[in-house]
Amino acid sequence: MTLSNWASNGWLKQHNTSRQEIENLLAMVERDLADARTADLSADWRFGIAYNAALKLCTILLYVSGYRPDRQLAHYRTLQSLALILGENWRRDVDYLDSCRIKRNAVEYDYVGGATIKDAEELINFTEVLKAEVLKWLEVHSHDTTEP
């Protein structure tokens, strides 16, 4: 499967990004990671904020690749695209992020206490690793954006 296959299926739409859009998303990642480290927030909230940072990193990859997700299953598709963009060696990480998506939905909409401090710290640390990989990837692919 490729991103263009996904677009043919209607799962992705064409998206022309800009350097400014990517810089704004990176600033959100930095903000969210800083906020997720705030000790006086609940573990649920810290987990949700860290999830948002990871999702934004996957969004950056997708946007620079020329796509955005269709509205239906947008988070799912954005996370799943990680392995298509960075390679199948990220498949386990995609599975991890998908389990985080499900947990985040539960603590956001269904009940309190679904995430532990350990869960939040693990996701924060994972997101830091993902951020480093995305930044390396951008060094090679940032010319793909439509504006300087």
Q: Establish if 41 belongs to a structural domain.
A: yes
Task: Report pLDDT digits (tens) over 42-77.
Answer: 999 999 999 999 999 999 999 999 999 999 999 999
H or E element at residue 67: strand 67-69
Partner residues linked to 13 by β-bridges? 68
CA distance 77 to 62: 10
Q: Does residue 7 fall inside a structural domain?
A: no
Angle, to 10 degrees, between the axis of helix 74-86 and the axis of helix 91-109? 160
**pLDDT (0 to 100) of residue 147:** 47
Q: Compute the half-sphere exposure of residue 133: CA atoms within 13 Å on the CB side of its CA.
A: 18
Q: In which domain, by residue range, is 136 found?
A: 17-143
- CATH value at residue 124: 1.20.120
Residue 100, domain member (yes or no): yes
Confidence of residue 143 (pLDDT cuts 50, 70, 90): low
Contact (CB, 8 A) for 18 and 147:
yes
Reported as a single tens digit per residue, the pLDDT across 1-57 is 899 999 999 999 999 999 999 999 999 999 999 999 998 999 999 999 999 999 999
Domain count, the chain: 1
